[in-house]
Structure 1
Amino acid sequence: MIASVLLQGTDGLRAQAEIFNEIFSVFLGLGTLIGVIVVSYMLWNAYKYRDDGSEPKESFDPPVLGELPTGKGGPKAKKLFLSFGLSAIVVISLVVYAYGLLLVVEQGPDAPGVESADMEVDVVGYQFGWEFQYPNGVTTQNTLYVPEDSAIELRVTSRDVWHTFGVTDLRIKSDAIPGDYSETWFTTDGEDLASGEERTHQIECFELCGSGHSYMTGEIVVMDDQDFNTWYDEQAAALENESDGSGAATNETDSGNGMENATNAMTAQGVEA
């Protein structure tokens, strides 16, 4: 229910990057405001009640170790209880607010009131590259092509060791574990691409997986919807026309040997493999 209220964007789905940026901004802003108030009040009280060398007033009621004020000790005790109450309200409100937004991240296209993902793609990690398997059987290496204004669901796994698929600017990350699948998603709404224009997001592996780990990168290419459909249909046609028995069509950046690609990348940058 909370998630449904907070859903907006493509088919009612907000981007993960937008959600995490909002949570960060709210917590940073509110934390800064409260911090300034608390520190200022503390410094003001330290100055106001500084030791001036005089004897304490007869009405002074010092705190007793192990006892809490009951609220009957005057305005100071009431202020203490008021501060506790306000703190509890702020903390509970932030927890409920953040929990509702994180439900959106957790449920993604499966959230109530949201249409299913526009496309589901299997992501297979290997040393040291990424393979993307589309619903029509088309397979690409290290480059994921997606249409704009879409919700994309990813099923992530690995064929050798543990990897972690992640895209920093989309705020997504998902473990790639051999024999198991984890899921993540992202949206491409708001791209506003013209025909022939593309936008890219860098893919990285966030799990140390071998000597070529730092070169295990790729990219997500967001295309104009019409351009993507043309590319997708062409790849499907090429797949049907293949006669070499490979069973998959690949894009121009086919990289069947991940270790060889990592070695070539290191050599090109002057690093001894």
Structure 2
Amino acid sequence: MKHLAVASVLVVIVTLLVILLLTSTNLLPGLASEEGAFVDQMFRAQIYVIAFIFSLIVVLVLYSVVVFRQKPGDEGEGQYITGNTALEIGWTLVPLVIVIIFATWGALHLAEVTAGEEGELVVEVTGFQFGWRFDYPDAGVSSDELWLPLNRQVLFRITSRDVIHSFWVPEFRLKQDAVPGRWTELRVKPTETGDYRLRCAELCGYAHAAMISRVVVVEPAAFEAWLQGMSVAQPTGDDTSPAGRGAMMVQDNGCTSCHSVDGTTLVGPSWQGVFGSERQLEDGSTVTADEEYLRRAILDPGSQVVAGFPNIMPAAYNFLPEEDITAMVEYIKTLSR
């Protein structure tokens, strides 16, 4: 009984120390959604259980190694134990009960997390190698940045253009796969204004780590102002010129997820002022960004990588008709005038 009492005290002490360590190291980013509150609650409960199980195993093993080690001069055989039925049943049933409790707890809250609300904002999300496109169907707006209003539930309808991706904003705590050929759904109510990052949480290719988009949560009035501004600036298709069609193609293919049109440096080089300029390539050579250069940059991007930028753009646009490529080139040319 003496050994059991000492070991029990040590287990309690180590458990408290492990819990203190894990809860003070900011394992999760700041919470920014209503649905994430339950996720954090379950996460903390699991930390408590894990800390106890870890301490129980480690303390008993180390205690046994130290206290029951072979003493100097002791040449006798150790006691042979064939088994302990009670212990074996215990360490089988206890984990089973723990798993059932957490599974039941999660299932009971699943309906709350997925329930819709009247007046929710619908955002259609399309993932592709290696970026995101966001469509607001009620407003007729498309963007490569995800803007959301504070304290309003958002229904994300998520799909993919090529391979499986996964929609994940760490501060929202929820994740949903983007699957080619089908729509999946995720509901989130943002509760904190701020600037966040959407990441792909499913390995989707060599530039998976670069598949990041900006997420902005603002007050409802600011969101409506942004939506109105985007609606005015949105290519409508009324411009039937090659450059006008090119603007639509750029929007539809999510090009501005990696290439800005205002000089801002993103994953890839900005298109502002690119036409007619001299471009230094990663092999040290210099080329003039003429129409042929722009066309080749779309169809075979790996053949002329601009110095200072990673070679991550997929050669995935060969499916586009020649007239669409020409239209995109004409649009890029307008950014240099």
TM over 0.5: yes
The answer to whether the 8 A contact 2:155-2:188 is kept is yes
Which structure 1 residue ranges, 5 or more long, are not aligned?
1-8, 70-79, 194-198
Contact 1:109 1:115 in 2 (8 A): no
* TM-score in terms of structure 1 length: 0.63
Q: Could you say which residue in structure 2 is the equivalent of 1:74?
A: none
* Residue 146 of structure 1, CA deviation: 0.6
User: Counterpart of 1:109?
Assistant: 114
Amino acid aligned to 2:226: W
Who is 1:173 aligned against?
175
Check conservation: 2:195, 2:216, Cα contact below 8 A: yes
Q: Residue 55 of structure 2: which of 36, 41, 46 is its match?
A: 36
Q: Secondary structure at the match of 1:19?
A: helix
- 1:200 counterpart = 2:168: no
> Which position in structure 2 is the counterpart of 1:244?
239
Task: Spell out the pairing of 1:197-236 with structure 2 (5 A cutoff).
Answer: 199-209=194-204, 212-236=207-231
Pairwise CA distance, 1:120: 2.0
How many equivalent pairs are there?
Answer: 232
The match for 2:161 is 159
* 1:140 Cα offset (Å): 2.6
- Offset at residue 243 of structure 1 (A): 4.0
Given that residues 148 and 224 in structure 1 are in contact (C-alpha distance below 8 angstroms), is that contact kept between their aligned partners in structure 2?
yes
Trace 1:1-273 onto structure 2 (pairs within 5 A): 14-16=34-36, 18-44=37-63, 53=74, 63-64=81-82, 69=85, 80=86, 84-85=89-90, 88-89=93-94, 91-101=96-106, 104-105=109-110, 108-110=113-115, 115=117, 118-189=120-191, 191=192, 193=193, 199-209=194-204, 212-236=207-231, 243-244=238-239, 256=253, 258=255, 261=259, 263-264=268-269, 267=306, 269-272=308-311
Q: Call closer, same or farther: CA 1:216–1:50 in 2, change over 3 Å.
A: closer
**Higher RCO (CA-CA < 8 Å; seq separation 6+):** 1
Q: Distance in 2 between matches of 1:31 and 1:162?
A: 32
What are structure 2's unaligned runs of at least 5 residues?
A: 1-30, 260-266, 271-304, 313-337
Aligned-pair identity (%): 23
Deviations 1:13-32, CA, capped at 9 Å, x for gaps = 9423x333333332222222
TM-superposed CA distance for 1:107, in Å, is 6.2
Contact (CA 8 Å) 2:35, 2:113: kept in 1 or not? no
Q: 1:37 to 1:101 in 2, by over 3 A?
A: same
TM-aligned CA deviation for residue 227 of structure 1: 1.3
Distance 1:125 1:209 in 2: 10
- In 2: Cα distance, 1:90 partner to 1:216 partner: 38
Letter in 2 for 1:258: C
* TM-score, length of structure 2 as denominator length: 0.53
In 2, are the aligned partners of 1:162 and 1:177 still within 8 Å (CA)? yes
Q: Deviations over 1:73-130 (max 9, x none)?
A: xxxxxxx45x8558735641453234423553576232xxx74572221111234332
Deviation at 1:180, TM superposition (A): 0.9
Could you report, residue by residue, the CA deviation over 1:220-246 in whole angstroms, capped at 9, with x for unpaired residues? 110012211333345456679884378
Q: Alpha-carbon deviation of 1:257?
A: 5.2
Give the deviation of 1:183 after TM superposition: 1.8
Report if aligned partners of 1:109, 1:116 keep a CA contact under 8 Å in 2. Answer: no
Between stretches 207-216 and 28-37, larger displacement belongs to 207-216
Structure 1 counterpart of 2:146, which letter?
L
2:319 match: none
